[in-house]
Amino acid sequence: MLAVLRHRTYRHLFAAQVVALTGTGLATVALGLLAYDMAGSDAGSVLGTALAIKMVAYVVIAPAVGAVTDGLPRRALMLSADLTRAGVALLLPFVDQVWQVYVLVFLLQSASAAFTPAFQAVVPDVLPEERDYTRALSMSRLAYDLESLFSPALAAALLSLVTYNWLFTGTALGFLASAALVVSVTLPPARPSTACGAYARATAGTRLFRTVPALRALLALNLAVAAASAMVTVNSVVYVRDLLDLPTGALPLALGAYGAGSMTVALLLPRLLDRVPDRTVMLSGAGLLVLVFAGLGAVTTAGGGGWRWPALLAVWAAFGAACAMVLTPTGRLIRRSAPAEARTAAFAAQFSLSHGCWLLTYPLAGWLGATAGPGWAVAALGSIALAASLSAVRLWPTPPTPAHTDLPAGHPHPADARRARSGRRHRGAGLADGAHSHS
């Protein structure tokens, strides 16, 4: 899988992603400490509001930025986003009002909403071979999982030497390093959107998700993943401290189990995806999510016993594995489903819509867990995952084998075709090219 790093442009882009993620992780820790200094016991509400602002920025800003910046050089867009994020990080240590935190968080996450879809859209152009692109997607998944483990450890080490305000400096340095890496390579130019008008460009990706069956199914799969990840992110501390009565040191182990499951699948998927269709892998991952929710229900409702702690670790690891099965091939699916000129809009729509799902499931997981108990949270989110998974199966039918009746003899496209009564058929992958329509 590491062979893909031999490609210089992708290697620099991947390094930019890693250092930016590390900086974001440091900022997450520092924001929590800043909120506590400013609000004391109300720090939780400050952080909750900041998280909601982050999600709103992701949902609203990503499509809008794509429309406004359509046709601009990708490198300039990504560089501007990184410099904006670095500037905001340098301002955060100097705030003294909660509203200032909210404004800066909105600016920071708006810049991220511009950078991430542009980064996701440029990678398939940099790596046109599907085999290489699949391995790049697994590398990206590993980067996210490793960041969730590495950044808190790095923050803890730095806090033993400096105050938390210096973590924001580390965040800024991460974004500046990302900007330098982006500038160091030449990126393929983006194809301008064929949509006319800013509104049409802003909604182009969403319209694509509405019209392409596989992308409609992807939206349902995003909801299933959001239900599981919300359960892990929001209620891990409830299971560790209240339900199992474990010390605080057990919380990182629980979150680490989720990351370990995700990383294991990310390492295994490239070879699997060479032989198994994306649809099979992604729908299997969604089905596994439903089964894991059933297992979590058993852990939640069972009486006391030492078996529940290792069982919870296994459930969290299975959640991570199932989410990775759905999320890792997502880029391949979008690349196949969207024409080149609509690819940036499609990635922006995926970024926006997936975070819209989290905007729904995060507060639901927290509210139900706090007011009705974790059992009801499991039942509600598990039901959402089940309904979303069944919807994905229905919305994403098995693609028919493409038939060709209008291509001349000797055309290179159907080289692997076999004769059929309706024309020439071959093992197509539902790709969008000159001989296939989008499906």
Q: Encoding tokens for residue 400? A: 């028919």
Q: What CATH architecture is 1-190?
A: Up-down Bundle (1.20)
Same topology, domains 1-190 and 203-397? Answer is yes
pLDDT in tens, 38-73: 877 666 667 667 777 888 888 888 777 766 656 678
- CA-closest candidate to residue 223, choices 284, 277, 278, 286: 286
> In Å, what is the CA distance from 43 to each residue of 31, 35, 216?
10, 5, 38
| DSSP codes of every residue in 77-124 | HHHHHHHHHHHHHHHGGG--SHHHHHHHHHHHHHHHHHHHHHHHHHHH
Q: Is the dihedral of CA 239, 320, 259, 327 positive or negative?
A: negative
The β-bridge partners of 330 are none
- CA-closest candidate to residue 241, choices 230, 250, 252: 250
* 203-397 fold: Growth Hormone; Chain: A; (1.20.1250)
pLDDT in tens, 360-399: 888 888 888 888 888 999 999 999 999 999 999 999 987 6
Ordered by start, the domain boundaries in the chain are: 1-190, 203-397
pLDDT for the residue numbered 227: 95
The b-or-e profile of 393-408 (16+ CB within 10 A means b, else e) is eebbeeeeebbbeeee
Rounded distance between C-alpha atoms, residue 432 and residue 332, angstroms: 12
pLDDT in tens, 276-309: 999 999 999 999 999 999 999 999 998 777 888 9
Q: Is the dihedral of CA 38, 39, 44, 46 positive or negative?
A: negative
Tell me what percent of the residues of the chain surpass a pLDDT of 90.
32
pLDDT for the residue numbered 357: 92
Predicted TM-score (pTM) of the model is: 0.77
Confirm if 397 and 277 have CB atoms less than 8 A apart. no
Q: Is the dihedral of CA 273, 274, 278, 281 positive or negative?
A: negative
